[in-house]
Amino acid sequence: MIPIRDIVESRNYPVINHLIIAVNVAVYLVQFSQGARLGHFILLYGLVPARYSDPFVAAHFTLGQQLFSFLSFMFIHGGFWHILFNMWSLYIFGDNVEDRLGPIRYLLFYLLCGLASGLSHLFLNWHSQIPTVGASGAIAGVMGAYFILHPRARILTLIPILIIPFFIELPAFIFLGLWFFFQLASASFTPAQEGGIAWWAHIGGFIFGMICLKLFAKVPETGITRTIKGKTARKKTRHLQAIHTTAASDAPHLYGAMVITPEEALTGARKLVNIPWAFQKRLLHVTVPPGVEEGTILRLEGMGREMPGGRKGDLLLELKIQQHG
Please report, in angstroms and rounded to a whole number, the separation of the first and last CA atoms in the chain.
Answer: 33
Report d(CA 229, CA 213) in Å as an integer. Answer: 19
pLDDT for 175 equals: 93
What is the DSSP secondary-structure string of 267-291?
H-EEEEEEEEETTEEEEEEEEE-TT
Could you report the per-residue pLDDT of 239-282, keeping only the tens digit for each? 777 787 888 777 888 898 888 888 888 889 888 887 765 445 67
pLDDT for 279 equals: 46
| CA-based nearest residue to 107, from 193, 5, 4, 225 | 225
All structural domains of the chain, each given as residue ranges with its CATH number in brackets, are 2-232 (1.20.1540.10), 240-321 (2.60.260.20)
Torsion of CA 70, 74, 76, 81, to 10 degrees: 150
Residue pair 17/106 in contact (Cβ under 8 Å)? The answer is yes
> pTM for the whole thing?
0.78
Query: What is the pLDDT averaged over residues 2-10?
Result: 83
Query: What is the pLDDT averaged over residues 307-324?
Result: 82
CA distances (Å), 90 to each of 24, 104, 208, 216, 274, in order?
A: 11, 17, 16, 19, 23
**What sign results for the dihedral spanned by CA atoms 112, 83, 183, 160?**
positive
pLDDT for 243 equals: 80
Could you report the per-residue pLDDT of 46-83, keeping only the tens digit for each? 999 999 999 999 999 999 999 999 999 999 998 899 99
Report d(CA 237, CA 145) in Å as an integer. Answer: 23
Query: What is the pLDDT averaged over residues 162-176?
Result: 85
Could you report the per-residue pLDDT of 276-298, keeping only the tens digit for each? 654 456 778 889 999 999 999 99
Which residues are CB-neighbours of 2 under 8 A, at least 6 positions away? 85, 157, 158, 159, 160
Residue 174 has pLDDT above 90, yes or no: yes
pLDDT for 139 equals: 96
Lowest mean pLDDT among 57-61, 126-130, 160-164, 297-301: 160-164
User: Percentage of the chain surpassing pLDDT 70?
Assistant: 94
Q: 315: which strand partners? A: 254, 300
pLDDT for 192 equals: 55
More confident residue, 298 or 224: 298
- Amino acid identity at 119: L
Mean of the per-residue pLDDT values for the chain?
A: 86
Strand order in the sheet with 269-277: 240-242, 269-277, 280-288
pLDDT for 325 equals: 44
**What sign results for the dihedral spanned by CA atoms 110, 115, 118, 119?**
negative
Residue pair 15/228 in contact (Cβ under 8 Å)? The answer is yes
| CA-based nearest residue to 148, from 96, 193, 106 | 96
